[in-house]
Each structure stands twice: as C-alpha cells, then as structure tokens.
Amino acid sequence: MSIASNGRISARQRWPLLRLALLFCLLNVGLLALELARHDGFGPNRLAVEAMMLTGVFGLLAGRRIGQWLAVLGAILATALLAMALADALARYSLNRPLNLGLDLALVASVFHLIAGNVSVIAAWLATLLVAALLLLIACAICWLLRRLPARVAVRSWTGAIAVLLLLAGLVGLLGRDLLPKPPRTITPALTMLQDQVHWVERTRQERAEFGAMLQRRDDAGTRQAMTGLAEIDVVVGFIESYGVSAVFDERYAPVVLPQLESLEERAGAAGLSLVSGTVNAPVFGGQSWLAHATFLTGLWIDSQLRYELLQQTRQDTLVDDFAASGHHTAALMPAITMPWPEGRWYGFDTLLEAADFPYAGPPFNWVTMPDQYTWSHFQETVRAAAPRPLFAQLALISSHAPWVPIVPVIEDWSSIGDGEIFNQWEGKGETPASLWRDHDRVREHFARSVAYSLEVSSSYVAEFPDRNTLLILIGDHQPARMITGPDPSAGVPVHVISADPARLEIFRKRGFVDGGVPPDEFTDHSMADIRSWLQEAFGGRGLSTAD
C-alpha cells in the first residue's frame, strides 16, 4: 500500500478516497429515497446495505471494461427502481395502497385518459413523452456518475482496501440479513422493493386461481333472487363520484357539505318521504369507480382490476338480474364512459347509455362530460318516462370528479334544461384545472363545493319529482385521493335511502342507519357488497316491502 512515512494516507490516495466516499453518500441517499412513499418522507433508517456493496463494486471496477458495462446495467436498474418508487408514491397517494405491478400496469392507460379528459390529448402525450425523456435523462446521469465518479484504484491501496471492506460488508448484510443481527437503522430498500413486487405478483397469481374458482362455484349455484317485494316500485341508485365520509366528517369539508344533507332531509320530508343514512365501506380509494359499481351490483368484494376481469369472464347473477326477474326494466346511465366499454354489456341492462348516447347539446366541463343535473333530467324526462314497466336504474353522477372545476350552479327551473344547451353559458368560464391545482388548499375547497353541488342537485330532484312508488339510494362510490382525505382515512362512503314507505327502510335501520341525512359514524363493519343481500333479505321472494 502507498503510505507516507508518518503512517498517514498519502495525498495521491486522498482524492480517490474522497470520490469513493462521495459515491457512497450519493448511492445511500438515492437508495433511501426509494422509501419516501412508504414513510411519507425519509424514514428512521440511515444506511442502505446495497450502497456499501455497490460502492465497493464500482470502486474496484472503475476504469475497467466490465465496470463500464456494470455502470450501464446499474443505471438501467436504478432508473427502473426510481420509476417503481414514483409509481408506488402515486398509488399510495391516489389509491391509498402500495404499488402492485401485477395489477397496476393496466392502469397506465387510465392515467393517460384522465390527463386527456382534464386537459387535452396533446397534453397527455406531452406528459408521456416528458416522463420518458426525464427517465432517460436520469438513466444517462446515473450511468455517467457510476462510470466517472469512482477513481481507478488498486486493491493493494488504502482506497482499494476500503472498497473491499465495503463490498464484503454489503454482501454480508444482504446474504446474512436473516441469519445475523440487523444493525439499527439499516435496511435494504432496493431488495425490499423488488421482493415486495415479487410477493404481489405471486399473491395476484394465487388470487386469480382462488377467486376464479369461487366465481365458478357461485356461478354454478346461482344467486339470483327476484325482488318480488319491490315488483311495482322503481328502484333508483345514484352513485355520487368521490363522495366519501371525509366530505361529511372532516372539519374542512363539513361546513360546505352538511347544509346540503340537511336540505336533502328537509326536501324529502316536505315531499312526504322518509330518509335514512348510514355508512358502508367501499372497495377502492381515489378512483376505479367501476370496481365499486361491480361490488354493489354483484354483492362480491371487487377491490382490484384482477377480480373485475375475472368477474367478467364468468356469468354471475347481479342486482340487475334480481330486478329483471321481478319484471323491472333495467337501465344504466354512464355519462363518463367515452371509450368502448364491452364489459358494460356483461351486466345485461335493458338500456345502457354511455356518453355518446346522451343527446347532450351543452359543453363538457373538463373531465365531466355533462353536469349531474342534466343526467338527472334526461333520466326523468326520457329514460323513466319511456320505461315500459317498473324501473331499476343506476346513474353515475360525475360532477364531483376531479379536477373539481368549474362548478356550475343548480338550475331552479328543471323544465329549461332540455338537451342541456342552457349550460353553454358556463363554457370556458372560471379558472383552468392547471391554475387551480397549483394551490392544494383551493383544490380541497373545490372538492367540497363539487360534492355539495351533486348533493344539491340530487335533493332538488327529490323535491321536483317526488314519487311515492320509488326507492331511491344515493351512495358514494369511494373516498377521494389522500390529498383530500389525509393519511389513514376510513374506507366508508355515505348511503342515503329515501322512500315514501318507512317500512322499506327498516332493513337499513337494522344495520345501524339512522333517520335523517347525516350518517351516524365514518367507520363501519358493513361493506358495499352487503347491500345486495340486504335487499334480497327484505324484498326477495317472501321479503316484505311495506308495512302490510
């Protein structure tokens, strides 16, 4: 080794040692950053075992051909890990769960279409190209660092000896982590991330087999039960987008939303209708409303795209079949569906209206293709008026979908809505999503206002078209993203059930629902999947629908 006469490291060796230390610091910080999403910031850990091993490898192989190739491979792997970490952060932030590559690759297209709907198709493509270019730039930068930063050293030198020690320590930490005591605040973030995804992929494979077998058994047995207790009653289900219990119980939103629930209660009472409210758990957070719809209709817990796709591969009985068996005409109004939706036919609705099927002459409002008041109006004046027999209908009410701007006012004269041309006066009015989303506090304010709008329109519909032969269910599809709810939110969504006959509501009171427009609690043991069995219990076969 090259050592000065006084025993100190020579000046010639000092700079390679500093460069090796700098490489270790950069690798350690970069690897620990993979844990940011898991801990909502840098966690309690201080040392990444992989950083020691990689520093030793690149310190010993710097300047050699194999080292150059390892730098390229390392850059590719590091960029892939970074992309996974960013995707993990996005999944936790929007869907309130970790990344699962076995399920979430299919959602990339959904993110693209969300951007296209909120801004434009050009913006979606630009965002895609920007992300790809950024990842490529990061890969090139990492490759440059790994190839240039370490100085070529001999093993028989102080720097080489330190590199060897780092390499050995890293290997011991990786290979012996299940056998040796773990040093405090020491982790293996890269290996843990890869193991997590292997676990999720394997769990997804098992889920495919187990859930698929359960669906087959259920299909063979059949679960259809005619809703004879509601044979002469219209049953209408309105899914309110992003309406979770946070809108009711969070002090940031309650002052805006609660007055609308009180108005719903007053208007229902004035129309001679009874109202009960409660809470059920939704299967998803922040998005994928179709999973909530499937859960409600099938009575199965559909909390992943995998389960949804497996469901579509079998012929399962749903509430649509239950009501069809009791002679109801079935209809679904889905104004958010703008692309081919073959799975929509799987449910077997007699009438299925997607966005292009509505004769809407007004403007879209960013992602929202048409305001909820038009959806209710078209349902009442066209679908309901033309129904040849009692109706079971599902409406997707989408005005409370992000980006929550603009929020149009409720039109008092429902007869003036017609084909929706009246909404043209608000086209281009108000600020753009890009402007609003610079301020998260204002985004939260607009979220509350948009939910209040959907509730106000729904209560206005109840007041404008009271019907004593209707069971109306208003239900949230899921909680909004974590930016709105905060960490560790309840999975609950409010449910409001309205009927002229109080006896029809008794089945909900037995499950903790209370009279009025405000649910009693934000937490519950009941799930959205339970509602089908409740309806079957109360109204299927010999179930009673009235006080008689």
Please report which confidence band the pLDDT of residue 27 belongs to, taking 50, 70 and 90 as the band edges. Answer: confident
pLDDT(545) > 50: no
Please report which confidence band the pLDDT of residue 525 belongs to, taking 50, 70 and 90 as the band edges. Answer: very high
**Cβ-count burial of 506 within 10 angstroms (0-12 exposed, 13-18 middle, 19+ buried)?**
middle
**Cα separation of 509 and 503, whole Å?**
10
Tens of pLDDT, residue by residue over 84-113, are 888 887 777 766 677 877 777 766 666 666
Choice between 154 and 202, residue whose per-residue pLDDT is larger: 202
Q: What is the mean pLDDT of residues 214-229?
A: 81
pLDDT(2) > 60: no
**Up-side HSE of residue 265: CA atoms within 13 Å toward CB?**
14
Question: Which residue in this structure is represented by tokens 């009791």?
Answer: 326
Choice between 16 and 409, residue whose per-residue pLDDT is larger: 409
pLDDT(458) > 80: yes
| 277, 458 Cβ separation under 8 angstroms | no
pLDDT(394) > 90: yes
Choice between 127 and 1, residue whose per-residue pLDDT is larger: 127
pLDDT(5) > 70: no
Choice between 42 and 474, residue whose per-residue pLDDT is larger: 474
The dihedrals phi and psi of 473, each to the nearest 5 degrees, come to -120, 120
Choice between 430 and 490, residue whose per-residue pLDDT is larger: 490
Supply the mean pLDDT for the chain: 84
Find all residues with CB under 8 Å of 211, minimum gap 6, and list them: 306, 307, 310
pLDDT for 543: 40
Topology of the domain comprising 227-539: Alkaline Phosphatase, subunit A (3.40.720)
pLDDT for 423: 93
Across the beta sheet with 234-240, what order do the strands follow? Answer: 351-354, 329-334, 391-397, 234-240, 470-476, 492-499, 274-281, 514-515
Tens of pLDDT, residue by residue over 411-427, are 999 999 999 999 999 98
Q: What percent of the chain has pLDDT over 70?
A: 88
Task: Quote the pTM value.
Answer: 0.79
pLDDT for 122: 78
Any idea which of 190-199, 235-244, 277-286, 508-517 has the lowest mean pLDDT?
A: 190-199
Which part of the chain has CATH 3.40.720.10? Answer: 227-539
**Running DSSP on this structure, what letter comes out for residue 6?**
T
- CB count within 10 Å of CB 282 equals 27
pLDDT(299) > 60: yes
Helix (H), strand (E), coil (C) string for 353-407 = EEHHHCCCCCCCECCECCCHHHHHHHHHHHHHHHCCCCEEEEEEECCCCCCCCCC
**Up-side HSE of residue 318: CA atoms within 13 Å toward CB?**
24
Q: What is the mean pLDDT of residues 454-460?
A: 96
pLDDT(251) > 60: yes
pLDDT for 542: 44
Q: What is the mean pLDDT of residues 162-171?
A: 73
What are the residues facing 475 on neighbouring strands? Answer: 239, 495
Highest mean pLDDT pick, 155-169, 188-202, 280-294, 418-432: 280-294
pLDDT(180) > 70: no
